[in-house]
Amino acid sequence: MSLRFTPVVAVGASLFVSVVVALGAWVNFDAHARGSERPGCRGVLAAVSGVVPFRYLLWWRRGRADEREP
């Protein structure tokens, strides 16, 4: 089964990217307001730490069985 680039996929992908960027910006502004030394790093790490589990679940685990054969 192939995933086609339909308008629904385009909207979903753009919504996902905008949520990740908004999360990173929010953490960045909050860390800056609290006086953090590196607010940009915190913003990037907050955005990336949310993306990595999704990449693992959606890409790497795709097609792999949960159980191993004895």
Q: List per-block mean pLDDT (blocks of 10 residues) for the chain, which spans 70 residues.
A: 76 91 90 89 87 67 58
Quote the CA–CA distance of 28 and 36 in Å, as a whole number: 9
For residue 17, what pLDDT is reported? 92
Task: Give the list of residues 6+ apart from residue 42 with CB closer than 8 angstroms, or none.
Answer: 27, 28, 31, 36
Per the CB < 8 A criterion, the answer to whether 31 and 54 are in contact is no
For residue 1, what pLDDT is reported? 47
Prediction pTM value: 0.66
For residue 70, what pLDDT is reported? 58
